[in-house]
Chain A
């Protein structure tokens, strides 16, 4: 009657953490088999970087070298944001649709472990995307002027923001019907969020309506903070605003996503 699962089952300490780790491994293994999403987080920003650099470099900043110092930090933030917007949201949606989630839920693991696993794996994916972008930036001539700690700080900030922003897509991935819809949403959100910001030039130089939006846009604050850090002029104000926005996104969308995921029937 009380047959246990197997003779080798281990005591169930930290079960949720351990199961999330197994599922994070799965998610990363899937990335190595299908690196599309991560490439998206690298190729798109890299293309924008090269495009903007040679289109606007001279007219805006006088030389491409000067402009790269301005442009690159924003590209880094774009990379982290994109990697997060694309991966977990659509992966979770696919799992829900094709029955993999049903299997997970019929296993004796926490209902939210698959979600936590995938989001944990995302952090590694950001790191990879951001590292590749760093290499491309340096090859193009970007110089880190704030020293190593500032560079790490900027990277951490970009990844933190990407992580917090990804919960919006995760939430959408859980509640909408198709993975295509998740991608469509990410694409529609991409333009105003990433481009309607201080990415290409300071918001003061933008036309009034765009400046009004760019000044509110959380992405602008994160880009400004990373730019200041990487150029050796850290600025408490923009860092504070970047952290605040990250916290706001996280506090609203993480519980919403986790709850919606746990309740899905």
Chain B
């Protein structure tokens, strides 16, 4: 219990008559990255705001770094940092002034605050831009500065609310590196995202919420497994072999394969026994194979089957 960076148990938060968060449980051991995944309006931001002491929970236990957020929010604030959905740095000030100001608000002496600001500016590759107003920064630089601002106080727990929104892929990889760096330093990270790819790349654990409730949680691999077994995809080398191959697959899997793609046969199976059965039969019949795959569902498929809505990734791709 004391080894968790944060833990939420039965959290309920209402706004007027709408229940934004309806009995959410989640937790992450110290130094882990938990991905909080869900479509827009699922309640992710509300969970983060409760954890960051910006909102008071209506019911449930919420502990951050072992401290109850309702009982001692001031102590919680000494140990956390929040990096919001919108970058919360001051456009008119320079990057350095932004960081020094946070340091001063954290009761660092002037000298220590500027030293810490200098360290972070170097670590986040902002040395050259340090004394320019933030208004002149690019989107990626602002995001890095925002993350740097979160780290001034050497927090134990960091909440990142959709940190990669609006970043192009190169900048996103850069941000991911930095988030991995945090977790290597022993910081516990809660990362909200709509991008499964991001959760898959960064998170030790994933909790999926929708309409304010947890609908799944586990490691990325657990989730993929939970949703369904494997799928076999077969592409015979000769179009003439499609029918006999389909018959083999149907016998082994107990159902007709999907033939919606012209040269591909797709069938869900319970495990690898069917896979070996099918390959053995194909060989016995002398059917040449140009491609065969035995795979877990993609996280996008997992998400779709959990929430009934495609992910942002899938929508962007469409």
**Docked-complex contact A34 and B92, CB < 8 angstroms:** yes
Question: Known: A6-B153, A102-B54, A106-B81. Contact between A1 and B93, CB under 8 A?
Answer: no
Question: For the complex, what is the distance from the CA of A86 to the CA of B2, rounded to whole Å?
Answer: 49
**Nearest opposing residue in chain B for A94, CB measure:** B91
Question: For the complex, what is the distance from the CA of A99 to the CA of B287, rounded to whole Å?
Answer: 62
Question: For the complex, what is the distance from the CA of A255 to the CA of B116, rounded to whole Å?
Answer: 37
**Docked-complex contact A5 and B54, CB < 8 angstroms:** no
A112 to chain B, nearest CB (A): 14
Q: Count chain B CB atoms within 10 A of each CB in A6, A106, A113, A265 and give the residue with the most.
A: A106
Number of A-B contacts (CB under 8 A): 94
**Docked-complex contact A103 and B104, CB < 8 angstroms:** no
Residues of A within 8 A of B153 (CB): 5-6, 107
Question: For the complex, what is the distance from the CA of A6 to the CA of B153, rounded to whole Å?
Answer: 7
Question: For the complex, what is the distance from the CA of A3 to the CA of B105, rounded to whole Å?
Answer: 18
B159 to chain A, nearest CB (A): 8
Question: For the complex, what is the distance from the CA of A3 to the CA of B156, rounded to whole Å?
Answer: 9
Grouping DSSP codes into helix (H, G, I), strand (E, B) and loop, the B interface class, with mixed when no group exceeds half, is: loop
Residues of B within 8 A of A34 (CB): 92
A22 within 8 A of B: yes
B201 within 8 A of A: no
**Docked-complex contact B53 and A107, CB < 8 angstroms:** no
Question: For the complex, what is the distance from the CA of A105 to the CA of B156, rounded to whole Å?
Answer: 17
**Nearest opposing residue in chain B for A108, CB measure:** B77
Residues of B within 8 A of A10 (CB): 107, 109
Stretch from A25-33, A65-73, A169-177, A222-230 at the B interface: A25-33
**Docked-complex contact A30 and B93, CB < 8 angstroms:** yes
Residues of B within 8 A of A12 (CB): 107
B84 within 8 A of A: yes
**Nearest opposing residue in chain B for A117, CB measure:** B105
**Docked-complex contact B107 and A102, CB < 8 angstroms:** no
**Nearest opposing residue in chain B for A99, CB measure:** B88
B133 to chain A, nearest CB (A): 6
Contact of B105 among A22, A99, A102 (CB under 8 A): A22
**Nearest opposing residue in chain A for B115, CB measure:** A8
**Nearest opposing residue in chain A for B75, CB measure:** A108
B311 within 8 A of A: no
Question: For the complex, what is the distance from the CA of A107 to the CA of B105, rounded to whole Å?
Answer: 8
Contact of B53 among A4, A22, A30, A106 (CB under 8 A): A106
Please provide the chain B residues from 101 to 124 with a CB less than 8 Å away from any CB of chain A in the complex. 101-102, 104-109, 112, 116
Contact of B106 among A30, A33, A105, A108 (CB under 8 A): A108
Contact of B54 among A4, A9, A98, A105 (CB under 8 A): A105
Question: For the complex, what is the distance from the CA of A109 to the CA of B230, rounded to whole Å?
Answer: 52
Question: Known: A22-B101, A33-B133. Contact between A98 and B106, CB under 8 A?
Answer: no
A104 within 8 A of B: yes
A47 within 8 A of B: no
Contact of A108 among B74, B82, B93 (CB under 8 A): B74
**Nearest opposing residue in chain A for B74, CB measure:** A108
**Nearest opposing residue in chain B for A9, CB measure:** B107
B125 to chain A, nearest CB (A): 21
15 interchain pairs, CB-CB under 8 A: A3-B79, A5-B78, A5-B79, A6-B108, A8-B109, A8-B112, A9-B106, A12-B107, A22-B101, A25-B101, A98-B86, A102-B84, A107-B153, A108-B77, A265-B54
